[in-house]
Amino acid sequence: MEQTLVIIKPDAVKRKLIGKILQRYERAEFTIRAIKIIQLSENRAKEFYSVHQEKPFYNDLVAFMASGPCVPLIIEAEDAVMRNRELMGATNYKEAKEGTIRREFATSIQENCVHGSDSAENSHKEIRFFFTESELV
């Protein structure tokens, strides 16, 4: 079994999509191992997305991620990283496949409702970014 990190982003929280998105993960047979609702500060958002600091969209992305509460969760399944990336769909929702979370719920390239770790190594780091040992079930 593999674990990976998902964030239900501020756009989806504002639009009251937490329940619908969690349902998508449960329906796809992921087990939710940890969950919380938090508000990222600008500094924490900067740190989380620091791999993108040279990108033209970085400042906007940081402001967006700090614009309201978000919901980090740890999900578990076989091949969780890859299966989550498939379930989320392409970064640009217009290119995302039918049936994916982003295709169904995203409203722009930036406001695409969910984040998912892109490798096993990053999953591990990102889980530690949001959760302490005692919060893991």
Three-class secondary structure of residue 136 per DSSP: coil
**Which partner in Mg ion, ligand ATP, none is near 53 (CB below 5 to 8 A by kind)?**
none
Catalytic residue among 115, 123, 127, 130: 115
For residue 116 the two structure tokens come to 């998912």
**Which partner in ligand ATP, Mg ion, none is near 109 (CB below 5 to 8 A by kind)?**
ligand ATP
For 78-108, the DSSP string reads: TTHHHHHHHHH--SSTTTSPTTSHHHHH--S
Per the annotation, the verdict on 115 as an active-site residue is yes
Give dist(CA 36, CA 135) in Å, integer. 10
**Could you say which of 84, 112, 123, 127 contacts ligand ATP (CB under 6 A)?**
112
Q: Please identify, using beta-carbon distances, which residue of 86 and 118 lies nearer to ligand ATP.
A: 118
Verify binding: residue 115, ligand ATP, rule CB under 6 A.
yes
CA max distance for the chain: 39
Nearest approach in angstroms of CB 81 to Mg ion is: 11
Q: Which amino acid is at 37?
A: I
**Which partner in ligand ATP, Mg ion, none is near 116 (CB below 5 to 8 A by kind)?**
ligand ATP
Within 13 A of 111's CA, how many CA atoms are on the CB side?
14
**Which partner in Mg ion, ligand ATP, none is near 110 (CB below 5 to 8 A by kind)?**
ligand ATP
Query: What residues between 18 and 57 interact with ligand ATP by CB under 6 A?
Result: 52, 57
Within 13 A of 99's CA, how many CA atoms are on the CB side?
5
Q: Which residues bind ligand ATP (CB under 6 A)?
A: 52, 57, 61, 91, 109-110, 112, 115-116, 118
Which residues form the catalytic set? 115
